[in-house]
Amino acid sequence: MEEISEDLAVQKKYEELIEACRANRQLTADEENNIFRAFTIARNAHADTRRKSGELYIFHPLEVALIAVKEVGLGPIAVVCALLHDVVEDTDITLDNLSAIFGDRVARIVDGVTKIDKATMIAEQNADFSSQAENYRKILLAMCDDAYVIFLKLCDRLHNMRTLGSMKDTKKLAISSETQYLYIPLAHRLGLYNIKTELDDLVMQYTNPDKYAEIANQISQTVGTELKLKECFTAPIRQLLDENKFHYTLKTRIKSVYSCWKKMQNKGVQFDEIFDLYAMRIILDLPETEGLDDDEKRKIEKEECFKVYALITGLFRPQPARFRDWITTPKNNGYESLHTTVMSPIGRWVEVQIRTTRMDRIAEKGMAAHFLYKEAHPDEPVKQSPVEEWLQQIRSSLEDPNKNALDLVEEFKETLYTKEIYIFTPKGKTIKLPARSTVLDFAYAIHSELGEHCIGAKVNARVVPIGYRLHSGEQVQVLTSQKTFPTEDWLKEVQTQRAKDHIKDYLRNQKKDYREQGEEKLKEFLKKVKLRENPEHIARLKLYFNSESDIDLFYRIATGDITEEAMMQCFHLKRSTPQLLFLQPYQNLFAPDGENNSRKPGDKSTITTSPFLTDSDHENLETQPAPCCKPVQGDRVIGIVTDNKIMVHRTNCPTAIHEMSTHEDRIVRTRWRPGEKIAFLTGFTITAIDRHGLLQELTRIISEDMNLNMRAITLEASEGVGRGLIMLYVHNLGDLDRLIEQIRSIDGVEQVQRV
């Protein structure tokens, strides 16, 4: 009976998928047949498999396909690939089978979405190796060939995050960290804001569940305010738009939990101080632009959006600092809209977004909207999108054989959230660069030879050095010298991957020229100290001097960076400078105060065991609180194996998130040992109006009211504002939260934030 009901549920889900596809556009007979064949193959292939939750596995590819259709707007090809995306990885079906049935494109997309088989991976198993990063590289390379790969990976990840509750705790944190590390920035870069917002919230539920629940509860209590806003804010706007005969749709939204938390962290404000908690979207339908060319259509759209902007700001007082014109200068993922923030009649700031239906389609579907339009109109010439240009730029970097996967993924991530600036050449040509780009980036963007000989530039007729950071609208004339060539220091002066790659290529070629000279010097040294020249000795030198390659080692020897004296120390042919060594029981007497597990001076409690418990496989490893996030009793924590010990981080610590997303095998389930009363070093920053008696009031609350021991306090005042850092010992999270609340209640204190 249960099997029958499951079969019916599967069939019902498939019919829902077909209806969703038809709602997007009319399907041909071949498209419907392909979807049915893919569904049948996937259903049979996964017939005996269930997910951790206990449900039939086939529900997962069906849900991924539904997300692809309903939330991204993808078509039949994506549906077929979504249904088949796990069959190669988990069953006996091969890519050749899929290619024979559905064609090469479907096989390529499924291959791009499939993880690398670890058994076939050829790579050095060292500290820098990461199977996750190798998978990222494979996905990103496949994405450059066909963007549907990353669309489907995002759909797959979204459904996995929605159903993460049935996984074990360490797996939840690993998948959440990986999502935050790569997939959320990708969703942002591709303009899939709805998916990004949901992923942000889902990640926070697992990495910072207490704060998520607290903010979600505060949002739920604002329902009354939202209803009042609709009465006194939405109604007048509708009346105004109707009177001016606009065709439009109004949508309202309340800020997501994660967005609220991020605003509170970045601005140091409380929940009730978030002024853009509410937003309204006005979507204009402009049927009169049908049939016009792109330039004429965009001109009319811009004019109509600004007319609505003028009406809204005439009705409600705007905040000038919050005006954003993404129509004149769209974002680098194609996003277009006018944003303004106005004061509502009930004293609440409300963000108003004004756009057309075309702009809204791009805002909702992001980069997918461009590719879907090309598929629907294959014979119509379409301008290349900014995102396609971006994909072309990153491909050469991803294929570089001299970079390991972790470095490549880090470089790729740098491009995801980057804002852009527009720089003019002396002849008026516009060059688009990432924000914070320098003169050297600009020179390499024009031509590699110009970059290699750059000595500076004239920016708006003023001479500046190669490291000068450019600003939008500046006109730049590059200055060169044939006697100037790239150096290692140039890598610190550039932001763009193009400039970095050209500089590294030059340095790599230069190092090759020094290879023979360095090899000869090494031979002479080995002969002098009566050592044989063999691969083991070269490997030892590379490890000792942290050289990435033989070429790098020989270059450093040739240029004198590695001396004979240093090589003698490497082979223990010369004693190094004596160092004082202490037995462990006495070492803490000579360590700087606070480095030892942050035990409170004068605390009578003795520490006989670690404050942390781990699983049985790791109980022999030493555990230490991580200095980057300073966990205290009560924080949710996770252990990361580092240098044969376990560093214990807070689950939302950026360092831990990075490690979990690239080295899942190092994660150790860790929890606080019950009953231990240990003082931990932690701290918080404070921003306050500078006034007489502020420091005295701070120390009274910390030392007298809370009876806590301070390690250090620094306060600086400038232009009437005091900023400081306070480090102290607390026993648990509750003590720290109570202290922060008391500090916030002091007159003049604007911001208190835990470090």
Residues 501, 529, single domain; the answer is no
Active site residue 89: yes
The secondary structure of the chain in percent helix, strand, coil, rounded to multiples of 5, reads 50, 15, 30
What span, in angstroms and rounded, lies between the C-alpha atoms of 509 and 507? 5
Question: Within a 10 A sphere around the Cβ of 426, how many other Cβ atoms?
Answer: 10
**What pLDDT score does 578 carry?**
40
Residue with tokens 């860790």: 670
> Within a domain: residue 587?
no
Residues 505, 530, single domain; the answer is no
One-letter amino acid for residue 271 of the chain:
F
Q: What are phi and psi of 574, to 5 degrees?
A: -145, 135
The CATH code of the domain that includes 117 is: 1.10.3210.10
The CATH code of the domain that includes 489 is: 3.10.20.30
- Give yes or no for a contact between 742 and 705, defined as CB atoms under 8 angstroms apart: yes
Residues 348, 460, single domain; the answer is no
> Within a domain: residue 526?
yes
Instruction: Output the six-digit token pair for 727.
Output: 């480090």
Pick the last residue of a domain from 510, 543, 562: 510
Residues 13, 162, single domain; the answer is yes
Residues 94, 233, single domain; the answer is no
**What pLDDT score does 5 carry?**
84
> Within a domain: residue 205?
no
> Within a domain: residue 357?
yes
**What pLDDT score does 579 carry?**
39
Nearest of 567, 507, 584 to residue 533 by alpha carbon: 567
> Within a domain: residue 498?
yes
Domain that includes residue 229, residue range: 217-375
Residues 347, 458, single domain; the answer is no
Residues with Cβ < 8 Å from 236, sequence gap 6 or more?
Answer: 315
What span, in angstroms and rounded, lies between the C-alpha atoms of 444 and 486? 11
What span, in angstroms and rounded, lies between the C-alpha atoms of 115 and 18? 28
Instruction: Give how far Cα 404 sits from Cα of 2, 49, 401, 506, Å.
Output: 50, 35, 8, 19
> Within a domain: residue 464?
yes
Region of residue 672 (left: phi > 0; alpha: psi -120 to 50; beta: else): beta
- Give yes or no for a contact between 56 and 42, defined as CB atoms under 8 angstroms apart: no
Nearest of 427, 455, 426 to residue 439 by alpha carbon: 455
Chunked mean pLDDT (size 10), the chain, 755 residues: 73 93 88 93 89 89 94 90 90 89 92 62 46 72 78 92 88 89 85 90 93 91 78 89 93 89 82 81 87 84 95 92 87 85 87 92 77 62 61 65 66 67 87 88 92 92 90 90 87 86 84 81 87 82 80 84 86 54 38 43 45 80 87 89 86 86 84 78 86 84 87 80 87 87 85 85
**What pLDDT score does 607 carry?**
39
What span, in angstroms and rounded, lies between the C-alpha atoms of 468 and 107? 48
Instruction: Give how far Cα 86 sits from Cα of 41, 58, 113, 150, 586, Å.
Output: 11, 10, 8, 15, 57
Instruction: Output the six-digit token pair for 676.
Output: 């231990």
Number of residues written out for the chain: 755
Burial readout 552-568 (b: 16 or more C-beta within 10 A, e: otherwise): bbbbbbbeeebebeebb
The active-site residue, picked from 6, 89, 145, 407, is 89
Instruction: Output the six-digit token pair for 197.
Output: 């917002």
Pick the last residue of a domain from 489, 510, 531: 510
> Within a domain: residue 78?
yes
| Structural domain count of the chain | 5
**What pLDDT score does 515 carry?**
81
The CATH code of the domain that includes 361 is: 3.30.460.10
Residues 68, 153, single domain; the answer is yes
* The pairing of beta strand 278-284 with beta strand 349-356: parallel
What span, in angstroms and rounded, lies between the C-alpha atoms of 279 and 657? 31
Residues 365, 320, single domain; the answer is yes
> Within a domain: residue 693?
yes
Pick the last residue of a domain from 510, 540, 558: 510
The active-site residue, picked from 7, 90, 242, 593, is 90
Residues 61, 115, single domain; the answer is yes
Residues 500, 518, single domain; the answer is no
Residues 270, 364, single domain; the answer is yes
Nearest of 70, 68, 56, 53 to residue 11 by alpha carbon: 56
Residues 32, 142, single domain; the answer is yes
pTM, rounded to two decimals: 0.70
**What pLDDT score does 401 carry?**
61
What span, in angstroms and rounded, lies between the C-alpha atoms of 322 and 167? 42
